[in-house]
Amino acid sequence: MILGMSIGTFTLLHVAISLLGIATGIVVLAGMIKGEQLPAWTAVFLVTTVATSVTGFMFPATALLPSHIVGAISLVVLVVALAALCKFRLAGFWRGLYVTSAVLALYLNVFVGVVQAFQKLPPLHQLAPTQSETPFALAQLVVLVLFAALGVLAVRRFRPALLPR
C-alpha cells in the first residue's frame, strides 16, 4: 500500500501523471519553439513533472535503482527551471537556462517512457529484452537527437518579455 492505495492503483496514478507531464511538456516545448509563453500549460507541465519524479520515489525498493538516479536528476533540473521562471523571471541568461532545464526535464520523462515501453510492451520487449540490444539503443538515440535539436530551436526562438514581478 502506498498512500492508502494498492501498488496497482498507485502505478496507474503515477503513469497517468507521467503521461500528462509528457503531453503538456510537448505543448510547452512547441510553444517555446514558436516563441510563445504558455503560462497555464507550463504550470501543469512543471507540477506534473515534479509529481512524476516524487511519486517515482514512493515505490518500494531495496536498492538504489537507475530510475532513482534519473528522478533525482530530474528534480534538480526542475528546481533550476522553477527558479529561472519564478524567481528570476527569465531575465538575462535565466531564459536560456529555463528553456534548457525544461527541455531536459521533458527529455528525461520521455527517456524513462521509452525504457518502460521496452519493458512492458511485448512487441518492443521482444526486440530488446535486456535493453542492451540495437533497437533500444537506436530508439534512445533518436529521442536524444530529437530533443537536442528541439532544445536548440527553443533556446533560439523563445524570447518572451520579462515576466512581471
Identify the pLDDT of residue 53: 96
Average pLDDT, the chain: 94
The residue ranking higher by pLDDT, 114 or 164, is 114
Residue range 76-113, pLDDT digits in tens: 999 999 999 999 999 999 999 999 999 999 999 999 99
Spell out a b/e string for 8-44, using b for 16 or more CB atoms within 10 Å of the CB, else e: eebeeebeebbebbbebbeebbebbbeeebbeebbeb
Using the Cα atoms of residue 56, residue 62, residue 65 and residue 69 in order, give the sign of their dihedral: positive
Identify the pLDDT of residue 32: 97
Residue 5 confidence class, pLDDT cut points 50, 70, 90: confident
| pLDDT, mean of residues 25-45 | 97
Identify the pLDDT of residue 155: 96
Cell of 119: 519493458
Residue range 47-78, pLDDT digits in tens: 999 999 999 999 998 999 999 999 999 999 99
Neighbours of 47 (CB within 10 A): 16
Residue 160 has pLDDT above 90, yes or no: no
Identify the pLDDT of residue 165: 58
Residue 162 has pLDDT above 60, yes or no: no
Domain range summary for the chain, segments of one domain joined by +: 7-157
Q: Contact, 39 vs 32, CB < 8 A?
A: no
User: Which residue type, as a one-letter code, is found at position 98?
Assistant: Y
CA distances from 65 to 6, 71, 94, 148 (A): 21, 10, 32, 25
Identify the pLDDT of residue 164: 59
Residue range 6-17, pLDDT digits in tens: 999 999 999 999
